[in-house]
Structure 1
Amino acid sequence: MFCRAFVTIALICAIPSAYSYSAGAPSAACEDMVPQHHVDPQRSTPPYKMLLSSKGDTVHVKIQGNSAGDTIKGFMIQARKDGKPIGKFEVPTEFRKHAQPLTCSGPADALTHKKIFANGPNKIEADWTPPPGFKGDVKFVATVALNGGIFWVQAINEPMSIA
């Protein structure tokens, strides 16, 4: 009887930790961008691409699956200079259902997912603004999850020069 009660309590305590990041990456993931999913990341080429385009003073960032089945269940995106996130992300209205800013070292300097039900979207889009007066090279880096057990850490990255 004692063993059954102990196992039941242990399982109840474990359930919140298994689901605790379904509504976005924790700030603890800011440095290494590794989801706390307790499984190893994929080593294969991710089935996603990152597309960057300049829009005046901002950069439009799009993460998109290579096929319709390459949906996005979770993600974290940063623009990095010397390994640290910089700038500020803003989520366009049509993507606010799935994306939200995350504060790592500065307000909204990363982008992460919200709770995504079913299969999730095939693409995520956002706008990034560099810090005032910034000029130089920046690298956009993304961790993307197909689901809780299949994800790629910092496997999608694109450099861009900000003039």
Structure 2
Amino acid sequence: IFSFADLSLTSHRRPTTQSILEARYRRISSSTNILTRATFVNARWRSIFLHSSTMHLVWYLVALSAFVTLSLTYSTGAPPEACDDMIPQHHAEIQKSSTFPYGIKLSKNKISSGNKVEVTIFGKNGENFRGFFVQGRVGNKRFGQFDPAPNSKLVDCKGGIKDAITHSDSDLKDSVTVTWNSPKRLSERVVFWATVAANGSTYWVAEKSQPLSVV
């Protein structure tokens, strides 16, 4: 028989040990889930930060490498790879519209085959420069050889020996004189092509001298 006394006892029944343990387990599980999510979020942000820092470091090293390569290429002269188009490895735009501020002067306008001629590069109005690259050509083909010169180095272009000359340092220069040797049995008009760099980002490519008659 059901009575209000029974209802009162049922309503105020003390929790069992099992229910207490289950409640504690739920609280522990909830705390564990929160901690797990927090740990995951923290790890995710740490991963993003490390990735971002790594990418910044990579880009910095790439930029530094490019700068070092540019500096070394510029300071030690034109490489053999520049022999055909005479464009230095500066990764800058060629001066197209501005007037060439330098001159290319020959010590003679006519020589016998097998003889020498001096080629001088100078600033027309006192302009200085830091780099140069010179070849003697008949049409587009290189001819002759250069003698060693101070602060310069000889370049062996493809299929040739000492058939170009370039700077060996990046010091300021007001003029440079190099000596070219004509091949024997050559009877042609030789034109000297010169690339001149005022600095690492300003240069003129394949400027031409007056022709030299070789007879």
Do both share a fold (TM > 0.5)?
yes
Taking the TM superposition and a 5 Å limit, the aligned residue runs for 1:57-96 are 57-68=115-126, 70-92=127-149, 96=150
Question: For the Cα contact (< 8 Å) 1:143–1:154, is it kept in 2?
Answer: yes
Pick the structure with more strand per residue.
1
User: Stretches of 4+ moved more than 6 A in 1?
Assistant: none
Shift of 1:129: 0.7
SS at structure 2 position matched to 1:147: coil
1:154 to partner: Cα distance: 1.0
Cα RMSD (Å): 1.7
1:15-72 Cα distance to aligned partner (Å, 9 max, x none): 332223120100000000011111111122211111112377211111111122x112
Cα distance between partner residues in 2 of 1:13 and 1:39: 16
Q: TM-score, normalised by structure 1?
A: 0.87
Which residue number corresponds to residue 202 of structure 2? 150
Q: What residue is the counterpart of 2:21 in the other structure?
A: none
Partner of 2:79: 26
Q: 1:7 Cα deviation (Å)?
A: 2.4
Cα pair 2:135 2:193 within 8 Å, conserved: yes
User: What CA distance in whole angstroms lies between the structure 1 residues aligned with 2:107 and 2:65?
Assistant: 45
What amino acid maps onto 1:65 in structure 2? G
- List runs of 5+ in structure 1 lacking aligned partners: none
Greater RCO (Cα-Cα under 8 Å, separation 6 or more):
1
Matched residues, percent identical? 33
Distance 1:78 1:126 in 2: 10
Contact 1:91–1:125 (CA under 8 A) maintained in structure 2? no
Cα distance in 2 for residues equivalent to 1:153 and 1:58 = 24
Look up the match of 1:111.
165
| Kept in 1: contact 2:94–2:202 (CA 8 A) | yes
- Residue 58 of structure 2: SS of its match in structure 1? helix
- 3-state SS of 2:198 partner: strand
Equivalent position SS for 2:87: coil
Q: Which protein has the larger Cα radius of gyration, Structure 1 or Structure 2?
A: 2
Q: Return the letter of the residue paired with 1:19.
A: S
Supply the AA of the counterpart residue of 1:20.
L
Alignment of 1:35-46 (within 5 A): 35-43=88-96, 44-46=98-100
More helix by share: 2
> Which residue type is aligned with residue 85 of structure 2?
D
Q: C-alpha distance in 2, partners of 1:48/1:9?
A: 37
Is there any run of 5+ residues in structure 2 with no aligned partner, and where?
A: 1-52
